[in-house]
Amino acid sequence: MKPQRKEELRQKGWREEDLAKAEAILDKTTKHDIFFSKIVFWSALLVIIFANLLVSIILIPFLITLYDLVLYAIVALLGLVIGFLYNFLITDIGLLETKHHRAASIIIPIIAVGNIIVMVLTANKFIENIHLNNQPHNPWIVAAVFGGAFILPYIVDQIRMAFQR
């Protein structure tokens, strides 16, 4: 309970025992709350993985036709969008333990970068097969641009939360 709310209740005549009891009731989590938080967490992970796969597939035409700055700008923009979705879905699930958040912060970026590497290699095969004048892309650079943009919203949010404490 917020300190200002406690003070308001004291002014209304609440005793310390009543305040402590109300705070305990408000802070109490039930097994149902934790169970549903886990369901939401795993569902959010599936949504993020699906969105990553969808973005990777959407990137193939851009990878085939574009090069350099325009391509990296599009990859970074898509990485930021998926990163904001990831940050929104994962960090707002408050009842989970730190290990769940840490696992998600490691697993999802690895899957995202892996998807991008596979799609860049696929696009490079298309470029070779249809004999375009475009050069094959370095999958590690494209994956690094996507991964950096993907994780940036999470890092910014963690820094913002550290300053609020």
Task: For residue range 64-104, list pLDDT tens digits in order.
Answer: 998 889 999 999 999 999 899 888 877 766 555 667 667 77
Tell whether 146 is covered by a domain: yes
> Do residues 62 and 41 make contact, with C-beta atoms less than 8 angstroms apart?
no
Range of the domain at 119: 33-164
Band (pLDDT 50/70/90 cuts) for residue 30 is low
The answer to whether residues 45 and 104 touch, using CB atoms and an 8 Å cutoff, is yes
**Quick check: 146 and 86 in contact, CB under 8 A?**
no
What whole-number distance in Å separates Cα of residue 147 and Cα of residue 78? 10
- pTM above threshold 0.75: no
Among 15-29, 39-53, 85-99, 119-133, the least confident range: 85-99
On whether residue 12 sits in a domain, the answer given is no
What is the number of domains present in the chain? 1
